[in-house]
Amino acid sequence: MKIAVTGKGGVGKSTIAAALCKNFFAKGYRVLAVDADPDANLALALGMDADAASRLTPISKLKSLVQERTGSQPGVYGGVFKMNPRVDDIPEKYAVDFNGIRVLVMGSVDAGGSGCVCPEHVLLKRLTSHLVLKEDDIVVMDMEAGIEHLGRGTAGSVNAFITVVEPGERSIQTFARVKKLASDLGVERVYVIGNKINDSDDEAFILKHVGEENCLGFIYYDKAISLSDRENTSSYEASRTLKNSIDIIADKIISMVKN
Ligand SMILES: Nc1ncnc2c1ncn2[C@@H]1O[C@H](COP(=O)(O)OP(=O)(O)O)[C@@H](O)[C@H]1O
Ligand SMILES: [Mg+2]
């Protein structure tokens, strides 16, 4: 099962991706948590302490790895390098276990202008497609809203594309954009989780804009979640609201994928 969590910055992607990881793990699945957001904070959301999280080196920053696999110098544009670097051993070698959940940080690529193809980019793209197509564990990817780099074949094999939205116009716009990008990649359905909900008006606002059939559920605003961020602890453990809602949403995803 492969799940991609997207959405506007600050909407709750990492909180929700981490909660899904913990819930699947509690249900007995092996889980690989992939931080594919350049603004990486999934490890923290899982409850890893800041020191340990800062020691997780993103794959794109492992210069010797990028060099060894692509045959090129990172950061050098226009050079000759392999377009099909070996990646199959990377999850096993570079994912770090945290309380039973494996965590892999992809890192960002400083692209020199649009359409840039650099070795780090090629390696990340190939690694992503390997994770989606070949990895046996449940893979939960915490992503930014730009999903173009997934590529057609890879995107088509993601079982659930989830956009997290808040009850506000801006994150709904992001949903519309993700839906369009996904459709360009051959993905018909983008699911929504409504987050930071305060009341039934908020729920109705989201349902009206995204369509009831696309909504996996709602997570209410809970002070315990934002406090856990401040204290750098796992919000899944801190918030009953989050735990209960995610439990139902995770079951929905599992049954969706089985059918
Ligand atoms: N349902 C919620 N209730 C209260 N605070 C929330 C909720 N969901 C997320 N937050 C808080 O919002 C902030 C952004 O969440 P985060 O998961 O880091 O967003 P993203 O990964 O999309 O940038 C964090 O401080 C988090 O604790
Ligand atoms: Mg995040």
pLDDT digit string, tens, across residues 179-223: 999 999 999 899 999 999 999 999 999 999 999 999 999 999 999
Cα-to-centroid distance, 42 and ligand 2 (Å):
6
Residue to mutate (ligand 1; options 37, 178, 202, 229; most atoms within 8 A of CB): 229
Q: Is the pLDDT of residue 239 over 60?
A: yes
pLDDT in tens, 54-69: 999 999 999 899 999 9
Q: Is the CB of 222 under 6 A from ligand 1?
A: yes
pTM value? Answer: 0.95
Q: Is the pLDDT of residue 112 over 60?
A: no
Strands 2-6 and 215-220: unpaired
> What is the pLDDT at residue 83?
86
Q: Is the pLDDT of residue 120 over 80?
A: yes
Q: Show the tokens assigned to 239.
A: 């918030």
Q: Is the pLDDT of residue 108 over 90?
A: no
> Would you list the domain boundaries of the chain?
2-258
**Full strand arrangement of the beta sheet holding 191-197:** 96-98, 101-105, 31-36, 138-143, 2-6, 160-165, 191-197, 215-220
Q: Over the chain, what is the mean pLDDT?
A: 93
Place domain 2-258 in its CATH homologous superfamily.
P-loop containing nucleotide triphosphate hydrolases (3.40.50.300)
- Identify the residue with better confidence: 191 or 78: 191
- The answer to which of 44-58, 75-89, 220-234 has the lowest mean pLDDT is 75-89
Are the CB atoms for 91 and 32 separated by under 8 Å? yes
* pLDDT range class, residue 259, cuts 50, 70, 90: confident
Closest CA to 178 of 154, 134, 210: 210
> What is the pLDDT at residue 76?
62
Closest CA to 59 of 83, 82, 40, 76: 40
- The answer to which of 24-33, 54-63, 146-155, 178-187 has the lowest mean pLDDT is 146-155
Q: Is the CB of 71 under 6 A from ligand 1?
A: no
Q: Is the CB of 217 under 6 A from ligand 1?
A: no
Closest CA to 234 of 37, 33, 3: 33
* pLDDT range class, residue 70, cuts 50, 70, 90: very high
- Identify the residue with better confidence: 74 or 206: 206
